[in-house]
Structure 1
């Protein structure tokens, strides 16, 4: 027969009831601390998360200009310290105390130690990132950005410009090559962003020589961007590298009319009533031009011949009276004026091009 001590049972019941109330308050407080941190603190003064959120809210409310950061952090530092008493690893509290610290060496130490304990908090990782940027430590900057973007991919648009700023320095290319050669959740998004930044395109080309970008559209945009900047040698060098080392899964056309990477591959006009496309056998071109339409129908950049050159074209353009409007022109890149302009003749025509000026 089981016996029990009524007094001990009463004490145990009281402890369990107290614990239940404590857990209930903790539950309510945890639900409300982000929305109403002051209410959370009043319900459960030991709630470090609520105090941390309250401290961060106080800090954020005081910052209207980056110059006010330290003063705002000092204002909120009392709540931050109280939060740390209940939750010693509260990341935002460490961030506030670091921003409030006037001694730069002490501030750096706080940030370094706190960031090593928490790789997920955006405020703390942002401070760590700022430290590395101010030091000019590009490898650590790139590492910090990688950690932030892995954990907070929704903030990619805010951090891609910082990553791009690092890539502007040619010295960072080896670090980027090492980082981007593996699978990353933000890799393609960043490359799509970076290839649109004119100032990054030369360094992106150097980076592309070392690693694959896993996508013809990015390569195509990069080549076109370099051409628009007049960096023809860099663009052609990148084109040659890609053709010799095609991207994984690429299906480059083999034949005379490859058009994957204009302008070093062929450009074909493709408008309604004004279209050019390779024929089914891949050896000739089908041209369709509606009356009243005109302009460049095919175009390609080639390295300038060292001397005179000859171009031989066979065609079956009909009716013959249209030939007076069909011409072959040769331009130097960047020049709007052709140095050669020749009319087509029936059947086969041979054009003798002079040496490019």
Structure 2
């Protein structure tokens, strides 16, 4: 058996939220119709939820009087889900799974019933069943999604969860994008998250979510995983290796956008417009690319002014996992030219343009042409 105790601990917290969070008025209902089975079931259910709320760490059986009231309600109205939830909770834990599976089919909206079914799956180490119950809860309890996302992300760390997530997310639930974004923040879940995304059709995931996934994978150092998704998203658009596209960084350009320090492409133009105010500076454009060979050449032109300061701007090439540039040079005389020999173990290369305007000089303004970026044989 695969041990997933951290997963079960967090899932149990989500289960507690599900089973104690019902909003109802059972006291009023029981007063109006004291002999009605539905009112009795609501009363027993609310009482049990109150008991659970006092000790959220465990799902203790209901008090005897609660179970008796639920049985009385069941005799009157056998299909009331609240009564079934309390009756099932009063039974011994071993061998209870068939009861919960059958009872849960009566109502997929009753949170106590779904919560107890979830608890049954957790006790049986049934990760697939637990995730599917959380899916049901997510569909009817929108306010609990943030907590449920945490539980699902913990479950995602377990390789057994991948097929289940693909099956559920493939149906396009409205919580899918929110969960994918939340899960992308967990480094331990990124590998399985990447496997899931590879198996989902593109129309299931919002493009904004995909861009966040690319960024999350790259930020965690999973560059191949990030680039595979980037390449998939880029397959339908024109090839822009030499352009200034910043649609999906970091494999498209990351451009600075600050007050007095801005690099941007204005509508309809191909050049990069640059402004560096006095005393401002740093990296203003960067891009990561897979190292297709060990030889890299970059060339371009610019008309940045004043020339004395523009000549001090730099272009550099480095491996994404390296500390120092492999090659660097200045943007002198209006030209950009840099050749680099990449190490054999350099899987991805980062191209950076940077510089600063002197605090006692003029601001730097002008444009940079599209760069020609080529890898040799």
TM-score, scaled relative to structure 2: 0.75
In the TM superposition, what is the alpha-carbon distance from 1:349 to its structure 2 partner?
Answer: 3.7
Distance 1:288 1:67 in 2: 58
C-alpha separation in 2, matches of 1:82 and 1:99 = 15
State the partner residue of 1:100. 90
Q: Is the 8 A contact 1:239 1:261 kept in 2?
A: yes
Per the alignment, residue 307 of structure 1 pairs with 294
| C-alpha distance 223-68 of structure 1, shift in aligned 2 (>3 A) | closer
Provide Cα deviations, 1:305-334, integer angstroms capped at 9, x if missing partner: 532332212111211111343001122213
Task: Pick one of 173, 191, 206 that aligns with 1:184.
Answer: 173
Structure 2 distance, partners of 1:274, 1:42, is: 69
Contact 1:305 1:355 in 2 (8 A): no
**Alpha-carbon contact 1:48-1:84 (below 8 Å) kept:** yes
Say if 2:221 is the partner of 1:230.
yes
Cα distance in 1 for residues equivalent to 2:93 and 2:198 = 44
Q: Is this contact kept in 1: 2:312–2:332, CA < 8 A?
A: no
More strand as a share of residues: 2
Structure 1 residues 293 and 348, CA gap change in structure 2 (3 angstroms): same
Give the Cα–Cα distance (whole angstroms) in 2 for the partners of residues 158 and 245 of structure 1: 36
Moved over 4 A (4+): 39-43, 251-255
Aligned to 1:320: 307
**CA 1:200–1:122: 2 relative to 1, 3 Å:** same
1:77 aligns with 2:67: yes
Instruction: Tell me the equivalent position of 1:244.
Output: 235
Instruction: Pick one of 117, 125, 128 that aligns with 2:106.
Output: 117
Distance (Å, rounded) in 2 between the aligned partners of 1:73 and 1:319: 83
Count matched residues: 319
Q: Which residue of 2 aligns with 1:257?
A: 244
Q: 1:187 & 1:174 partners in 2: Cα distance?
A: 15
Partners in 2 of 1:310 and 1:44 — Cα distance?
A: 83
The yes-or-no answer on 1:159 pairing with 2:148 is yes
SS in 1 for 2:332: coil
Tell me by how many angstroms 1:150 deviates: 2.6
- TM-superposed CA distance for 1:144, in Å, is 2.6
Give the corresponding residue for 1:283. Answer: 270
Name which one, 1 or 2, has greater alpha-carbon Rg. 1
Task: Give the corresponding residue for 2:25.
Answer: 35
Larger helix percent: 1
1:273 aligns with 2:260: yes
The CA deviation at 1:198 is 3.1
Alpha-carbon distance between aligned partners in 1 of 2:41 and 2:302, rounded to the nearest angstrom: 78
Contact 1:125–1:148 (Cα < 8 Å) also in 2: yes
Contact 2:330 2:336 in 1 (8 A): no
Counterpart-to-counterpart distance in 2, 1:314 and 1:43: 83
Q: Report the CA distance between 1:263 and its aligned residue.
A: 0.8
Displacement, 1:237? Answer: 1.9
How large is the Cα RMSD of the aligned pairs? Answer: 2.9
Q: Within 5 A, what are the aligned runs for 1:8-87? A: 34-35=24-25, 37=27, 41=30, 44-63=33-52, 64-66=54-56, 69-74=59-64, 76-87=66-77
Unaligned 5+ runs, structure 2: 1-22, 347-377
Q: Match of 2:83, SS?
A: helix
Q: Secondary structure at the match of 1:275?
A: strand
Contact 1:307 1:355 in 2 (8 A): yes
Contact 2:328 2:338 in 1 (8 A): no
> Does the alignment pair 1:135 with 2:124?
yes
Question: Is the Cα contact below 8 Å between 2:47 and 2:66 reproduced in 1?
Answer: yes
TM-score normalised according to structure 1 size: 0.78
Matches within 5 A, 1:177-216: 177-211=166-200, 212=202, 213-216=204-207
| Uncovered stretches (5+) of structure 1, i.e. residues with no partner | 1-32
Highest relative contact order (Cα 8 Å, sep 6+), 1 or 2? 2
Q: Give CA deviations for 1:20-60 in whole Å, capped at 9, x if unaligned.
A: xxxxxxxxxxxxx95362x6546543122222232233323
